[in-house]
Homo-oligomer: A and B are copies of this chain.
């Protein structure tokens, strides 16, 4: 009577529990495991350069999209606004980023990366590339591409902002 007439892809399962899925089939678990290692591996390198994860993330984002309002940067960099505020304080005093008041909205401070900031990131990049390569070792280009495509869909599904 109360048969589920589910459209296949969406929600057909009554409610599978984690134990039934299994950790190694549960994507969020695997992703947390992988990113935990990725971030831990990089943290070591960062420490040597006087960087922290929030600082590094801010620089990495700014190396691609410059001159961002702090609130946008927080979203891109996946760092809490207040944490980022303090990280930027240090980055600015170390000369790795620049703070420019937004001409149109005086509440906004726009952050740009400096040459020194780029240089710092360049020092870290080999490690990032190495860990990245390690992660995808033995995975063919086509599979990598499909993987990224799925990730892009997932981000669209889950994000709370327009970017």
**A27 pairs with B148, CB closer than 8 A:** yes
A31-B35 contact in complex given A9-B140, A134-B158, A157-B134, C-beta closer than 8 Å: yes
A150 within 8 A of B: yes
CB A154 to nearest CB in B, in angstroms, measures 5
In Å, the complex CA distance between A136 and B126 comes to: 32
Q: Copy number in this complex?
A: 2
Asked if B78 and A33 sit within 8 Å, CB to CB, the answer is yes
Q: Is the CB of B30 within 8 A of A78?
A: no
Query: A18 vs B1: C-alpha distance in the bound complex, in angstroms?
Result: 34
What is the number of residues of chain A that contact chain B, defined by CB distance less than 8 Å? 72
Contact A64 B28 (CB under 8 A): no
CB pair B151–A27 under 8 Å, yes or no, is: yes
Contact indicator B37/A159 (Cβ below 8 Å): yes
Residue pairs across A and B with Cβ atoms less than 8 A apart, 16 shown, are: A6-B141, A15-B126, A18-B60, A18-B63, A18-B125, A24-B152, A27-B136, A28-B135, A30-B152, A31-B35, A37-B158, A38-B158, A41-B158, A131-B158, A135-B154, A138-B157
A residues whose Cβ falls under 8 Å from a Cβ of B: 1, 4, 6, 8-11, 15-19, 22-39, 41, 57, 60-61, 63-65, 76, 78, 121, 125-126, 128-129, 131-148, 150-155, 157-160
